[in-house]
A and B are shown apart, each in its own frame.
Chain A
Protein backbone atom coordinates (compact mmCIF):
# COMPACT_ATOMS: atom_id res chain seq x y z
CA UNK A 1 0.00 0.00 0.00
CA UNK A 2 1.10 3.48 -0.84
CA UNK A 3 0.23 5.07 2.52
CA UNK A 4 1.72 4.25 5.91
CA UNK A 5 -1.51 4.94 7.75
CA UNK A 6 -4.97 6.40 7.27
CA UNK A 7 -3.92 9.61 8.98
CA UNK A 8 -1.07 9.94 6.48
CA UNK A 9 -3.65 9.40 3.74
CA UNK A 10 -5.93 12.16 5.02
CA UNK A 11 -2.97 14.46 5.61
CA UNK A 12 -1.78 14.22 1.96
CA UNK A 13 1.72 15.30 2.88
CA UNK A 14 0.37 18.40 4.64
CA UNK A 15 -1.78 19.39 1.66
CA UNK A 16 -4.98 17.70 2.79
CA UNK A 17 -6.97 20.93 2.74
CA UNK A 18 -6.25 21.51 -0.94
CA UNK A 19 -6.65 17.95 -2.13
CA UNK A 20 -9.82 17.18 -0.13
CA UNK A 21 -11.16 20.67 -0.74
CA UNK A 22 -10.92 19.95 -4.47
CA UNK A 23 -12.41 16.46 -4.43
CA UNK A 24 -15.00 17.23 -1.74
CA UNK A 25 -16.52 20.28 -3.41
CA UNK A 26 -16.44 18.67 -6.86
CA UNK A 27 -18.23 15.51 -5.81
CA UNK A 28 -20.69 17.52 -3.73
CA UNK A 29 -21.54 19.54 -6.85
CA UNK A 30 -22.02 16.38 -8.88
CA UNK A 31 -24.29 14.93 -6.18
CA UNK A 32 -26.26 18.19 -6.15
CA UNK A 33 -26.62 18.09 -9.92
CA UNK A 34 -28.01 14.55 -9.79
CA UNK A 35 -30.37 15.51 -6.95
CA UNK A 36 -31.69 18.55 -8.83
CA UNK A 37 -32.04 16.52 -12.02
CA UNK A 38 -34.24 14.04 -10.16
CA UNK A 39 -36.23 16.76 -8.39
CA UNK A 40 -36.80 18.80 -11.56
CA UNK A 41 -38.07 15.74 -13.40
CA UNK A 42 -40.54 14.97 -10.60
CA UNK A 43 -41.71 18.60 -10.48
CA UNK A 44 -42.14 18.83 -14.27
CA UNK A 45 -44.15 15.61 -14.40
CA UNK A 46 -46.38 16.77 -11.55
CA UNK A 47 -46.89 20.17 -13.20
CA UNK A 48 -47.70 18.63 -16.58
CA UNK A 49 -50.20 16.25 -15.01
CA UNK A 50 -51.95 19.19 -13.30
CA UNK A 51 -51.81 21.23 -16.53
CA UNK A 52 -53.35 18.39 -18.46
CA UNK A 53 -56.07 17.76 -15.89
CA UNK A 54 -56.99 21.46 -15.96
CA UNK A 55 -57.10 21.46 -19.76
CA UNK A 56 -59.31 18.39 -19.91
CA UNK A 57 -61.66 20.05 -17.44
CA UNK A 58 -61.80 23.21 -19.57
CA UNK A 59 -62.58 21.50 -22.82
CA UNK A 60 -64.68 18.74 -21.34
CA UNK A 61 -62.75 16.28 -23.41
CA UNK A 62 -62.11 12.79 -22.30
CA UNK A 63 -58.57 11.53 -22.02
Chain B
Protein backbone atom coordinates (compact mmCIF):
# COMPACT_ATOMS: atom_id res chain seq x y z
CA UNK B 1 0.00 0.00 0.00
CA UNK B 2 2.78 2.38 0.89
CA UNK B 3 4.00 4.52 -1.98
CA UNK B 4 1.43 3.27 -4.41
CA UNK B 5 -1.58 4.54 -2.60
CA UNK B 6 -0.61 7.89 -1.23
CA UNK B 7 -3.90 9.74 -1.55
CA UNK B 8 -3.93 12.57 -4.03
CA UNK B 9 -4.65 15.17 -1.41
CA UNK B 10 -1.64 14.11 0.60
CA UNK B 11 0.79 15.15 -2.13
CA UNK B 12 2.15 18.57 -1.10
CA UNK B 13 2.24 19.98 -4.64
CA UNK B 14 -1.35 19.13 -5.26
CA UNK B 15 -2.56 20.41 -1.93
CA UNK B 16 -0.69 23.62 -2.52
CA UNK B 17 -2.21 24.12 -5.94
CA UNK B 18 -5.64 23.29 -4.59
CA UNK B 19 -5.14 25.87 -1.87
CA UNK B 20 -3.96 28.44 -4.40
CA UNK B 21 -7.05 27.80 -6.46
CA UNK B 22 -9.28 28.38 -3.46
CA UNK B 23 -7.41 31.54 -2.54
CA UNK B 24 -7.62 32.88 -6.06
CA UNK B 25 -11.36 32.33 -5.95
CA UNK B 26 -11.67 34.01 -2.57
CA UNK B 27 -9.61 36.99 -3.65
CA UNK B 28 -11.89 37.63 -6.60
CA UNK B 29 -15.37 36.68 -5.44
CA UNK B 30 -17.04 38.94 -7.99
CA UNK B 31 -15.08 37.71 -10.98
CA UNK B 32 -15.88 34.79 -13.25
CA UNK B 33 -13.81 32.64 -10.94
CA UNK B 34 -16.74 32.17 -8.64
CA UNK B 35 -18.47 30.14 -11.37
CA UNK B 36 -15.66 27.61 -11.04
CA UNK B 37 -17.49 26.53 -7.89
CA UNK B 38 -20.09 23.89 -8.77
CA UNK B 39 -22.52 25.48 -6.34
CA UNK B 40 -22.40 28.74 -8.27
CA UNK B 41 -22.33 27.17 -11.69
CA UNK B 42 -25.30 24.85 -11.15
CA UNK B 43 -27.97 27.59 -11.08
CA UNK B 44 -26.19 29.58 -13.80
CA UNK B 45 -26.24 26.54 -16.11
CA UNK B 46 -29.91 26.03 -15.31
CA UNK B 47 -30.72 29.60 -16.29
CA UNK B 48 -28.63 29.64 -19.47
CA UNK B 49 -29.48 26.24 -20.96
CA UNK B 50 -33.09 27.02 -22.02
CA UNK B 51 -31.92 30.13 -23.90
CA UNK B 52 -29.31 28.21 -25.83
CA UNK B 53 -31.85 25.46 -26.54
CA UNK B 54 -34.42 27.99 -27.80
CA UNK B 55 -31.81 29.66 -29.99
CA UNK B 56 -30.79 26.27 -31.37
CA UNK B 57 -34.41 25.37 -32.12
CA UNK B 58 -35.09 28.64 -33.97
CA UNK B 59 -31.86 28.37 -35.97
CA UNK B 60 -32.64 24.73 -36.84
CA UNK B 61 -36.08 25.65 -38.20
CA UNK B 62 -34.65 28.55 -40.23
CA UNK B 63 -31.71 26.41 -41.37
CA UNK B 64 -33.90 23.50 -42.48
CA UNK B 65 -36.23 25.86 -44.33
CA UNK B 66 -33.29 27.38 -46.22
CA UNK B 67 -31.74 23.95 -46.77
CA UNK B 68 -34.81 22.43 -48.40
CA UNK B 69 -36.84 25.32 -49.81
CA UNK B 70 -34.43 28.11 -50.68
CA UNK B 71 -31.04 26.61 -51.52
CA UNK B 72 -30.95 25.80 -55.23
CA UNK B 73 -30.31 22.41 -56.77
CA UNK B 74 -26.58 21.79 -57.19
CA UNK B 75 -25.47 21.83 -60.81
CA UNK B 76 -23.23 18.76 -60.41
CA UNK B 77 -24.77 16.71 -57.64
CA UNK B 78 -28.47 17.45 -57.93
CA UNK B 79 -30.48 17.27 -54.71
CA UNK B 80 -28.33 14.87 -52.72
CA UNK B 81 -25.85 17.63 -51.90
CA UNK B 82 -28.38 18.91 -49.31
CA UNK B 83 -26.78 16.45 -46.91
CA UNK B 84 -23.96 19.01 -46.63
CA UNK B 85 -26.08 21.21 -44.33
CA UNK B 86 -26.02 18.45 -41.74
CA UNK B 87 -22.74 16.74 -42.55
CA UNK B 88 -20.38 19.71 -42.30
CA UNK B 89 -21.78 21.22 -39.07
CA UNK B 90 -21.76 17.75 -37.45
CA UNK B 91 -18.14 17.17 -38.49
CA UNK B 92 -17.10 20.62 -37.25
CA UNK B 93 -18.84 20.09 -33.91
CA UNK B 94 -17.33 16.64 -33.44
CA UNK B 95 -13.82 18.09 -33.82
CA UNK B 96 -14.53 21.28 -31.89
CA UNK B 97 -16.11 19.55 -28.90
CA UNK B 98 -13.15 17.18 -28.65
CA UNK B 99 -10.81 20.17 -28.45
CA UNK B 100 -13.04 21.77 -25.81
CA UNK B 101 -12.93 18.50 -23.84
CA UNK B 102 -9.14 18.53 -24.05
CA UNK B 103 -9.13 22.18 -22.98
CA UNK B 104 -11.17 21.40 -19.86
CA UNK B 105 -8.88 18.45 -19.23
CA UNK B 106 -5.85 20.75 -19.24
CA UNK B 107 -7.60 23.29 -17.01
CA UNK B 108 -8.54 20.50 -14.62
CA UNK B 109 -4.99 19.14 -14.46
CA UNK B 110 -3.39 22.56 -13.98
CA UNK B 111 -5.86 24.31 -11.67
CA UNK B 112 -7.38 21.25 -10.00
CA UNK B 113 -10.91 22.51 -10.56
CA UNK B 114 -13.52 19.79 -10.26
CA UNK B 115 -15.95 21.60 -12.50
CA UNK B 116 -13.53 21.47 -15.46
CA UNK B 117 -13.55 17.68 -15.41
CA UNK B 118 -17.32 17.65 -15.06
CA UNK B 119 -17.60 19.86 -18.16
CA UNK B 120 -15.40 17.43 -20.09
CA UNK B 121 -17.69 14.56 -19.02
CA UNK B 122 -20.76 16.50 -20.05
CA UNK B 123 -19.41 17.18 -23.54
CA UNK B 124 -18.31 13.66 -24.45
CA UNK B 125 -21.68 12.02 -25.30
CA UNK B 126 -22.74 14.98 -27.45
CA UNK B 127 -19.41 15.00 -29.26
CA UNK B 128 -19.73 11.28 -29.90
CA UNK B 129 -23.19 11.79 -31.39
CA UNK B 130 -21.95 14.53 -33.73
CA UNK B 131 -19.08 12.30 -34.75
CA UNK B 132 -21.45 9.46 -35.55
CA UNK B 133 -23.74 11.82 -37.49
CA UNK B 134 -20.76 13.06 -39.52
CA UNK B 135 -19.78 9.47 -40.38
CA UNK B 136 -23.33 8.35 -41.07
CA UNK B 137 -24.29 11.28 -43.32
CA UNK B 138 -20.89 11.00 -45.00
CA UNK B 139 -21.54 7.37 -45.85
CA UNK B 140 -25.01 8.14 -47.22
CA UNK B 141 -23.56 11.00 -49.25
CA UNK B 142 -20.60 8.98 -50.48
CA UNK B 143 -22.70 6.19 -51.97
CA UNK B 144 -24.51 8.28 -54.63
CA UNK B 145 -21.55 10.59 -55.36
CA UNK B 146 -18.48 8.32 -55.07
CA UNK B 147 -20.23 4.99 -55.55
CA UNK B 148 -19.24 3.69 -52.12
CA UNK B 149 -20.42 4.07 -48.53
CA UNK B 150 -16.95 3.78 -47.11
CA UNK B 151 -13.33 4.03 -48.19
CA UNK B 152 -10.22 3.79 -46.02
CA UNK B 153 -8.77 7.13 -46.93
CA UNK B 154 -7.15 9.68 -44.63
CA UNK B 155 -10.17 11.87 -43.91
CA UNK B 156 -12.63 9.07 -43.24
CA UNK B 157 -10.20 6.94 -41.27
CA UNK B 158 -9.10 9.78 -38.99
CA UNK B 159 -12.73 10.71 -38.38
CA UNK B 160 -13.44 7.09 -37.46
CA UNK B 161 -10.51 7.26 -35.06
CA UNK B 162 -12.16 10.30 -33.46
CA UNK B 163 -15.29 8.18 -32.93
CA UNK B 164 -13.16 5.58 -31.14
CA UNK B 165 -11.49 8.29 -29.05
CA UNK B 166 -14.91 9.50 -27.91
CA UNK B 167 -16.04 5.96 -27.15
CA UNK B 168 -12.73 5.28 -25.42
CA UNK B 169 -13.16 8.37 -23.25
CA UNK B 170 -16.70 7.35 -22.30
CA UNK B 171 -15.66 3.75 -21.54
CA UNK B 172 -12.55 4.76 -19.61
CA UNK B 173 -14.22 7.35 -17.39
CA UNK B 174 -17.07 4.97 -16.61
CA UNK B 175 -14.81 2.00 -15.92
CA UNK B 176 -12.77 3.72 -13.18
CA UNK B 177 -14.65 3.90 -9.91
CA UNK B 178 -12.73 6.62 -8.12
CA UNK B 179 -14.07 9.78 -9.78
CA UNK B 180 -10.83 11.72 -9.31
CA UNK B 181 -8.84 9.02 -11.06
CA UNK B 182 -11.48 8.71 -13.76
CA UNK B 183 -11.36 12.48 -14.30
CA UNK B 184 -7.61 12.53 -14.74
CA UNK B 185 -7.39 9.42 -16.90
CA UNK B 186 -10.15 10.74 -19.15
CA UNK B 187 -8.54 14.17 -19.37
CA UNK B 188 -5.26 12.60 -20.39
CA UNK B 189 -6.95 10.61 -23.15
CA UNK B 190 -8.70 13.77 -24.34
CA UNK B 191 -5.46 15.77 -24.36
CA UNK B 192 -3.38 13.12 -26.12
CA UNK B 193 -6.20 12.27 -28.54
CA UNK B 194 -6.66 15.89 -29.55
CA UNK B 195 -3.62 15.54 -31.83
CA UNK B 196 -6.03 13.67 -34.12
CA UNK B 197 -8.18 16.76 -34.69
CA UNK B 198 -5.69 18.74 -36.82
CA UNK B 199 -4.91 15.48 -38.61
CA UNK B 200 -8.60 15.17 -39.58
CA UNK B 201 -8.80 18.80 -40.57
CA UNK B 202 -5.70 18.88 -42.75
CA UNK B 203 -5.96 15.32 -44.03
CA UNK B 204 -7.52 16.51 -47.27
CA UNK B 205 -4.46 18.68 -47.91
CA UNK B 206 -1.74 16.37 -46.65
CA UNK B 207 -2.90 13.22 -48.38
CA UNK B 208 -4.51 12.36 -51.63
CA UNK B 209 -8.03 11.51 -50.56
CA UNK B 210 -11.39 10.92 -52.16
CA UNK B 211 -12.89 13.48 -49.81
CA UNK B 212 -13.12 16.96 -51.25
CA UNK B 213 -11.13 19.82 -49.76
CA UNK B 214 -12.59 22.43 -47.43
CA UNK B 215 -15.46 24.39 -48.98
CA UNK B 216 -15.10 27.08 -46.35
CA UNK B 217 -11.83 28.45 -45.05
CA UNK B 218 -10.67 31.61 -43.38
CA UNK B 219 -8.01 32.39 -45.93
CA UNK B 220 -9.90 32.38 -49.22
CA UNK B 221 -13.36 32.95 -50.64
CA UNK B 222 -15.72 30.01 -50.13
CA UNK B 223 -16.23 27.75 -53.13
CA UNK B 224 -20.00 27.65 -52.78
CA UNK B 225 -23.02 29.82 -53.46
CA UNK B 226 -23.82 32.42 -50.80
CA UNK B 227 -27.20 30.96 -49.87
CA UNK B 228 -25.64 27.53 -49.40
CA UNK B 229 -22.88 28.99 -47.27
CA UNK B 230 -25.29 30.99 -45.11
CA UNK B 231 -27.50 27.92 -44.62
CA UNK B 232 -24.52 25.83 -43.58
CA UNK B 233 -23.37 28.48 -41.10
CA UNK B 234 -26.87 28.77 -39.61
CA UNK B 235 -26.97 24.99 -39.15
CA UNK B 236 -23.49 25.12 -37.63
CA UNK B 237 -24.62 27.74 -35.09
CA UNK B 238 -27.71 25.65 -34.35
CA UNK B 239 -25.49 22.63 -33.65
CA UNK B 240 -23.21 24.76 -31.51
CA UNK B 241 -25.98 26.22 -29.35
CA UNK B 242 -27.62 22.81 -29.06
CA UNK B 243 -24.35 21.34 -27.81
CA UNK B 244 -23.98 24.12 -25.24
CA UNK B 245 -27.54 23.63 -23.97
CA UNK B 246 -27.19 19.86 -23.70
CA UNK B 247 -23.77 20.08 -22.03
CA UNK B 248 -25.12 22.56 -19.47
CA UNK B 249 -28.09 20.34 -18.69
CA UNK B 250 -25.89 17.28 -18.43
CA UNK B 251 -23.33 18.96 -16.20
CA UNK B 252 -26.11 19.92 -13.78
CA UNK B 253 -26.92 16.26 -13.21
CA UNK B 254 -23.23 15.42 -12.87
CA UNK B 255 -22.81 18.21 -10.30
CA UNK B 256 -25.72 16.90 -8.22
CA UNK B 257 -24.20 13.43 -8.17
CA UNK B 258 -20.65 14.52 -7.44
CA UNK B 259 -21.59 17.10 -4.78
CA UNK B 260 -24.23 14.98 -3.07
CA UNK B 261 -22.45 15.22 0.29
CA UNK B 262 -22.82 19.00 0.42
CA UNK B 263 -25.55 20.95 2.17
CA UNK B 264 -26.54 22.93 -0.88
CA UNK B 265 -27.26 19.76 -2.89
CA UNK B 266 -29.35 18.48 0.04
CA UNK B 267 -31.34 21.71 -0.13
CA UNK B 268 -31.65 21.46 -3.90
CA UNK B 269 -32.89 17.85 -3.59
CA UNK B 270 -35.50 18.96 -1.07
CA UNK B 271 -36.62 21.65 -3.49
CA UNK B 272 -36.84 19.17 -6.38
CA UNK B 273 -38.71 16.63 -4.25
CA UNK B 274 -41.17 19.30 -3.12
CA UNK B 275 -41.74 20.38 -6.71
CA UNK B 276 -42.37 16.77 -7.76
CA UNK B 277 -44.99 16.37 -5.05
CA UNK B 278 -46.67 19.40 -6.54
Contact = CB atoms under 8 A, between A and B. Distances in A.
Interface stretch (B7-15, B154-162, B170-178, B253-261): B253-261
Interface stretch (B33-41, B132-140, B189-197, B207-215): B132-140
A62 to B, nearest CB: 12
Contact of B256 (A13, A21, A29, A44): A44
Interface string A1-41: 11100000100111101110111011001100110010011
Given A13-B79, A23-B86, A26-B86, A41 B140 contact: no
A14 to B, nearest CB: 8
A49 B257 CA distance: 11
A37 B72 CA distance: 37
Contact of A22 (B126, B141, B249, B257): B141
B10 to A, nearest CB: 27
Contacts of B242: 30
Given A2-B69, A13-B80, A33-B246, A48 B269 contact: yes
Interface in B77-97: 78-80, 82-83, 86-87, 90
8 A-B pairs with least C-beta separation: A13-B79, A15-B80, A22-B137, A12-B79, A13-B78, A18-B140, A26-B133, A41-B253
A19 B136 contact: no
Contacts of B257: 44, 48
A30 B129 CA distance: 8
A52 B273 CA distance: 12
Contacts of A49: 269, 272-273
Contacts of A1: 69
Given A26-B136, A26-B137, A30-B242, A19 B83 contact: yes
B141 A2 contact: no
Contacts of A21: 140
Contacts of A52: 260, 266, 269
Nearest to A34: B246
Contacts of A30: 129, 242
Interface residues of A, number: 30
Given A22-B83, A22-B137, A37 B256 contact: no
A58 B200 CA distance: 54
Contact of B266 (A9, A33, A63): A63
20 contacts: A12-B79, A12-B80, A15-B80, A18-B141, A19-B79, A19-B80, A19-B140, A22-B136, A22-B137, A26-B137, A33-B126, A33-B246, A37-B246, A37-B249, A40-B250, A45-B273, A48-B256, A48-B257, A49-B269, A49-B273
Nearest to B84: A22
A21 B83 CA distance: 10
Contacts of B273: 45, 49
A12 B260 CA distance: 52
Nearest to B249: A37
B68 A9 contact: yes
Contacts of A2: 68-70, 72-73
B86 A37 contact: no
B132 A15 contact: no
Interface string B54-81: 0000000000000011101100001110
